[in-house]
Structure 1
């Protein structure tokens, strides 16, 4: 009996996820048709854009488009998902199919009663940084209305995970520290190739520990701050912890009144997992990287920003040899980021994957060696 219930639940869940992804694929296609040479396909795309007029780039609902939104978005979404559900009658028995149809129909009726308003479609004054991904929430879906050519998943993130449409690159403004280093320079080139607008900031020129006033204009222009500066021997604590922490805090403050949350990508290290391994020369580097990782966990959990923690295996750079090039490390990182990963393992050893559990659940606060001992 219990096994029958489990099978029933798995079948219904699979039907719901796949039929949802089918509409998400149609949704993606409608956006692609915006620039089609076929006037009929452009007309279909224009009908869909009514939905983006109903809930605009300012995340405010426009009631004037409520009825058109029902005809050109809500009903097509229901019918497409319904078709994707009924196809499973060729594979599964009818009860789990009937359950999914009933759930979708109830959801449709509730949405129609509210004239198109539901949990994912309502006015918002600010989009939060904590966003559901396995199950899409209003903050995640709001990103689609802010960046209409990405974030297509409607109930589960399967489509964005497969298609790599879970993060906007083209047209966004990036500020990269450490751009003269191997990882930073590779990231700049890759972002520019993908259509991003990139500005750089150099330690000692644009900022220094305790001196960030010169950064304010650059931070105000940026949508995404990428912290790729660091040091393995000289002044590790200032390079790996103090400036990374302070720039992140300043960026959060500057972006606190924006509609969309500021976004920060921080470059970690597998040393967070294995520590200094008893090597004296590695102690400051390991403790400073672990200290920032502990702070980064708070950013990861914060609703004030979107934080992504990139943890690579050693790569070829001025800091030492590695088994992969910086260009490869950046390509792997962006593969995961475009799928909206917040913890980004870039690894050949597997240590970065294991470090996820330490990063999320088992970190210990590191003493701040930049402060005098009490």
Structure 2
């Protein structure tokens, strides 16, 4: 009996997720048709854009489009999902399929009663940085209305995970630190190739510990701050910890009145996991990286920003030969980031994957306690 219930629930869940992903794929196609050379396809796309007039780029509801939104978005979404659900009658018994049909119909009726308003479609003054991933929440779906050519998933994040449409790059403004280094220069090149608008900032010129006034103008223009500067021997504490922390908090403060949360990508290291291993030459480097990781966990959990922690295996740079090239490390990182990974393990050894559990659950103490004695 219990097993039958489990099978029923699993079948119903699969039917719901797949039929949802079917509409999400159609949703993506409608956006692609916006630039089609075929007039009829552009017309279909324009019908869908009524939905984005109903809930605009400013995340405010326009009641004038409520009825059109029902005809051109809500009902097509419902009918597409129903068609995808009915297809499961070919492989599943009818009870779980009917259960999903009933759930979808109840959801439709509730949405119609509210004239198109539901949990994911309401006015918002600010989008939070903590966003649903496996299951889409209102903050996640709001990002689709702020960045209409990404974030297509409507209930389950299956489509965006497959298609890599969970992070807008084209047209967004990036500030990259450490752009003269291997990872930073590769990141700048890749972001520009993907349509990002990139500025760079240099340690000791644009910012230094306790002095980041020259960064304010650049950060005010930016949507994303990429922290890829650092040091392995000289003044590690300031290079890998203090300036990372100060720039993240400055950018977060400057972005607190924006509609969409500021976004920070910070370069960590597998040394966060294995420490200095008793090697004197790694003591200062390990302490600085671990200290920032401890603070970074707070950013990771904060609703004030979107924070991504990139932890690569060693890569080839001026610091020495690595397990992969910086270009490969950046390509892997962006592959994950475009699928909304917030902790980004770029690893051949697997240590960065293991470090996820340390980063999230097992760090102890205060960052300043880790500073080695001079």
TM-score class, shorter-chain normalisation, is over 0.9
- Aligned residue number for residue 185 of structure 1: 185
Distance apart, 1:371 and its partner CA:
7.5
- What does residue 76 of structure 1 align with? 76
CA deviation vs aligned residue, 1:195-240 (integer Å, no higher than 9, x gap): 0000000001001101011110001000000000011110000000
Q: Determine the structure 2 residue equivalent to 1:45.
A: 45
**Kindly tell me: are residues 177 and 369 of structure 1, through their superposed partners in 2, closer, same or farther at Cα, counting changes over 3 Å?**
farther
Q: Does structure 1 residue 342 correspond to structure 2 residue 342?
A: yes
Alignment of 1:220 with 2:220, yes or no, is yes
How many pairs are equivalent? 373
Q: Is the 8 A contact 2:24 2:153 kept in 1?
A: yes
TM-aligned CA deviation for residue 366 of structure 1 = 4.8
TM-score (norm 2): 0.98
Moved over 6 A (4+): 369-373
- Do the aligned residues in 2 keep the contact of 1:290 with 1:366 (CA within 8 Å)? no
Instruction: Call closer, same or farther: CA 1:176–1:65 in 2, change over 3 Å.
Output: same
- Aligned-residue offset at 1:365: 2.7
- How big is each residue's C-alpha offset from its partner over 1:109-164, in whole Å with a ceiling of 9 and x where there is no partner? 00000000000000000000000010000000000000000000000100000000
| Separation in structure 2 between the aligned mates of residue 365 and residue 188 of structure 1, nearest angstrom | 35
Q: For the residues of structure 2 that align with 1:346 and 1:99, how far apart are their CA atoms?
A: 41
Task: Check whether the contact 1:276–1:283 (CA below 8 A) recurs between aligned residues.
Answer: yes
Structure 2 gap ranges (5+): none
Residues 81-122 of structure 1, C-alpha deviations (whole Å, 9 max, x = no match)? 000000000000000001100000000000000000000000
Secondary structure of 2:324's partner? coil
1:104-123 aligned within 5 A: 104-123=104-123
Distance in 2 of aligned mates of 1:347 and 1:367: 25
Decide whether the 8 Å contact of 1:287 with 1:366 is kept in 2.
Answer: no
Report the equivalent of 1:247. 247
- 1:362 maps to 362
Q: Secondary structure at the match of 1:368?
A: helix
Distance in 1, matches of 2:371 and 2:40, equals: 66
Alpha-carbon deviations, 1:25-57, whole Å to 9, x = none? Answer: 000000000011111100000000000000000
- Residue equivalent to 1:145: 145
Unaligned runs of 5+ in 1: none
Q: TM-score, normalised by structure 1?
A: 0.98
